[in-house]
Amino acid sequence: MSENTFKVMKQKNMRRISGFAEPMRVLSQLSIYLFLFLMALIVLFPFYWMVISSLKSLAEYKLSPPTFWPKQVLLSNYADAFTTANLGRLFWNTMYVGVVSTILSLIITVLTAFAFARLEFKGKETLFGALLATMMIPGELFTITNYSTVIKFGWLDTFTVLIVPFLVSIFYIYLLRQNFLQIPNELYLAAKVDGTGDFKYLWKVMVPLSLPTLISITILKMMGAWNSYIWPRLVANKDDTHRMITNGLRNAFTETTGDVNYPVQMAAVALVSIPLFLVFVFLRKYIMSGVSRSGIKG
């Protein structure tokens, strides 16, 4: 077989292979998009059902088979939800606990992360390893001891019991420490030569450079306070004075007959979900950038 004939056959084979490869590539892409579309439907359907249920009457809600769009749109369910569950008070309680606990937790996290990232003291690595080991223990195991402690302090049914027990987060300290370690140590040594104190260096240099991670921690802490359910229900659920919003939705819509007004309850859930939805839509890039910047150097 001549060299020219071999080249011609090779080119034909390449064209034949490329001819098969293109349809396979298109089919692969279509399969991926179809899979993503189905997953999106599965994720979004509960939110869709929540919204349309909040616009129905109770009689229509109980129909079988259910309707997938309300026959009569009842926006009054939202007004009823706000007044029935006393959402104004519950929103205020949750925001107060969230803001105060976030500010105090940020102060503790920044100072602790700075100490483990830049300061040198005996047993630093051992102590940090011990703190990381506590992350392996499920938080539920601390519930009984925490409950016994707050009873001894007389903190039940106060804002203190909702704020103080969860001010320290080892995960946030680890996240910020990893970010601090990425800042060149030469900056710290140069600042010490110039006579800059540790607190000034922390505030002027490390905090601005770690702002995406700090924003991520702020968002995650606020969302944690907003979604907290078990602990607030255990220690501050006597009345609306200190009750959190997730607990307030639990039994607020149970009528005297024992029936639950599900459309009004769905309206309340939709109102509570709006702040978290807006946080995710507008601030998700800060969460992703803060986490992605914090796990490179250990």
Q: What is the 3-state secondary structure (H, E, C) of 114-183?
A: HHHHCCCCCCHHHHHHHHHHHHHCCHHHHHHHHHHHHHHHCCCCCHHHHHHHHCCCHHHHHHHHHHHHCC
Structure tokens at 228: 């907290």
Q: Which CATH number fits domain 76-292: 1.10.3720.10, 3.10.580.10, 3.40.640.10, 1.10.760.10?
A: 1.10.3720.10
Sequence-distant (6+) residues with CB within 8 A of 102 are 218, 221, 222, 225
Structure tokens at 156: 């039940």
Q: What's phi and psi for 260, nearest 5 deg?
A: -105, 130
**Residue-wise pLDDT tens for the chain (298 aa)?**
555 555 556 566 656 555 556 677 778 888 899 999 999 999 899 999 999 999 998 888 888 888 888 888 888 899 888 888 888 889 999 999 999 999 999 999 999 999 998 888 888 889 999 988 888 888 778 888 889 999 999 999 899 999 999 899 999 999 899 888 888 888 888 887 777 788 888 888 888 888 888 988 898 898 888 888 889 988 988 878 888 888 888 777 776 666 788 888 899 988 888 888 887 777 777 767 655 655 444 4
Instruction: Tell me the residue length of the chain.
Output: 298
On whether the CB atoms of residues 282 and 93 are closer than 8 A, the answer is no
What is each CA distance from 273 to 145, 200, 262, 276, in whole angstroms? 32, 40, 16, 5
On whether the CB atoms of residues 168 and 253 are closer than 8 A, the answer is no
Angle at 16 between CA 12 and CA 17, to 5 degrees: 120
- pLDDT number for residue 65: 85
Secondary structure class of 93 (helix, strand, coil): helix
- pLDDT number for residue 97: 93
Angle at 202 between CA 198 and CA 204, to 5 degrees: 115
Secondary structure class of 10 (helix, strand, coil): helix
- pLDDT number for residue 298: 41
pTM of the model: 0.78
- pLDDT number for residue 4: 59
CA distance 146 to 244: 19
On whether the CB atoms of residues 231 and 63 are closer than 8 A, the answer is no
- pLDDT number for residue 297: 44
